[in-house]
Structure 1
Amino acid sequence: MKKVILVTGASSGIGRETANALQAAGHTVYGASRSVHALKDIAFIPLKMDITDDESVKSGIETIIAAEGRIDVLINNAGIVLAGPLYDTSVEFAKKQFEVNFFGVVCVSTAVLPGMIERKKGLVINISSVAGLFGLPYVGTYVAAKFALEGYSQSLRMELQNTGVDVTVVNPGDFKTNNTSSREKLPFSLPHEKLKREYDAAIEIVEKNEVNGGNPAIVGKLITKIVGKSKPAHRYMVGAFDQTKLPLIVKALLPSTMFSKMINGYYNIK
């Protein structure tokens, strides 16, 4: 069945691949981005929208409704990945992370959901991360925002249980996107050589994994399958086994102190 779909953060990476895959599957897809000039050589309909601006979101949703009469599927994909030591992170820096990765999701969802509830049908897919399921060093504001998104998604699902609107979370591992090149990193300002070395080592591994990550088209294919399901699952993991399912298995088996040491060891914090 042909559906009207809104994908946020569609200018690159997972969002772009997802929007292209869904359009190729026969759906009507609007790909939203603050940078519509980056939406070239695409199959979907470009839509200028800043998810951190209420008026921009309202205008974007009204554009779709005027043209299509409804939105069947909302895919909250837009996000940024900031890095820095939490012990030296300002509230302003943390807010920047949350404005996009959490409050942006709330803003767009609140604008779309009343229409879905009225029609008694709809699907919201929130793109989380494996970082929304366990902590990682030196990308702590990103982890915190994804944890918030996880809680939001679970609670939203409970509230919508009897409305006909489904809520699904997708947790990707590392995929090749522009996060590495566009990441804002806090400079290390403390006079502490050991912590500075650990910070540098951890970020080096984070970015190496991203650069060597999977093709985001894999996520696009998965989301296309999810959209086609009559009753999607609450959660879908996607990515390398050692980044997604394995850590959760180990986390369930080990005491939290041992699991934390294991993760730190992977990032050369010993």
Structure 2
Amino acid sequence: MKKVILVTGASSGLGLAMANALSVKGYQVYGTGRDITQMKNVSFTPLEMDVINDVSVNASVRQIIAAEGQIDVLINNAGNGIAGPLYTVPVAIAKVQFEVNFFGLVRVCSAVLPWMIKEKKGLVINIGSLAGLFGLPYQGLYSASKFAVEGYSQSLRMELQNTGIKVSVINPGDFKTNFTSSRVKMPFILNNELLEKEFEAAIAIMEEDERIGSDPVNLAGLVCKIVAQSNPSYNYSAGKFEQTIVPALKTILPESVFSKLMNGHYGIK
């Protein structure tokens, strides 16, 4: 029987690439989005789901179970980005960032995992970020939400050790997607010319890194390999080599040196 795969955030970008690639491989793939009218000419089954809404998530999962009887693989990909100064960000905005990137993931896991536990098998792939392994200036909320995904996933692995369910995290670097254009950029509200200049420089550099980033097809290929494995690894990095080696550098460099290197890259001298 074909594996049944649920991919959240499949209306564009990485999620769309993953869902299409998995479907081409012959899996029964359900790709979710808040507006399925955006999913045209796709090879998978579009499914409406809003990951910040309990009713929507539970209804969508039940719909798949009713049709297929199981969900073998869950890929938590839905996410968004907010850029801005941490020193002025309203708590309400921080909550928006976490609601999608972290609590949305938790919500979908809580809806799917009881079914996997009942079947004593399954695979959860959480899409984290390299920014969830080290902080980035003016992307602090995004980094924090992805750090939370990493911690949640580590604990989830421990809890599911004896259930037959595997948990993996993929930490992508910069990819060429519409994530750049859809990022919410908070206004700079302080009367501080130096900090404002650094803020604008950091935003410009992060957008350029994404513009020349890796092709989403590469990440989709990695996901297909992971799904095909009987015992996948816990953590994977994806993207350009110069980005994927950064977590290793963080472990061997003094914090002051590492921070200086990161700030230098983002135009903060």
When the two structures are superposed, what TM-score results if normalisation uses the length of structure 1? 0.99
Q: Deviations over 1:47-105 (max 9, x none)?
A: 00000000000110011001000100000000001100000100011001000000000
**Which AA in structure 2 matches 1:216?**
P
Conserved 8 A contact 2:23-2:43: yes
Secondary structure in 2 aligned to 1:51? coil
Secondary structure in 2 aligned to 1:75? strand
Q: Deviations over 1:95-137 (max 9, x none)?
A: 0100000000000000000010111100000000100100000
Task: Name 1:154's counterpart in structure 2.
Answer: 154
Task: Name 2:227's counterpart in structure 1.
Answer: 227
How much has 1:249 moved relative to structure 2?
2.4
**Which AA in structure 2 matches 1:240?**
K
Does residue 248 in structure 1 map to residue 247 in structure 2?
A: yes
Structure 1 residues 164-203: aligned runs within 5 Å: 164-203=164-203
Task: Name 2:87's counterpart in structure 1.
Answer: 87
Task: Name 1:260's counterpart in structure 2.
Answer: 259
When the two structures are superposed, what TM-score results if normalisation uses the length of structure 2? 0.99
How much has 1:251 moved relative to structure 2?
1.2
Structure 1 residues 1-270: aligned runs within 5 Å: 2-245=2-245, 247-270=246-269
Q: Which runs of 5+ in 1 are unaligned?
A: none
How much has 1:258 moved relative to structure 2?
1.1
Number of corresponding residues: 269
**Which AA in structure 1 matches 2:99?**
E
Distance 2:27 2:124 in 1: 16
Secondary structure in 1 aligned to 2:6? strand
Distance 1:70 1:249 in 2: 38
How much has 1:196 moved relative to structure 2?
0.1
Distance 2:87 2:21 in 1: 41
Conserved 8 A contact 2:130-2:247: no
How much has 1:2 moved relative to structure 2?
2.3
Percent sequence identity is 59
Distance 2:193 2:253 in 1: 31
Distance 2:240 2:101 in 1: 23
Q: Deviations over 1:146-195 (max 9, x none)?
A: 00000000000000001000000001111011111111111000000000
Secondary structure in 1 aligned to 2:243? coil
**Which AA in structure 1 matches 2:257?**
M
**Which AA in structure 1 matches 2:268?**
I
Superposition CA RMSD, Å? 0.7
Any runs of at least 4 consecutive aligned residues in structure 1 with deviations exceeding 6 A, and if so which? none
**Which AA in structure 2 matches 1:205?**
I
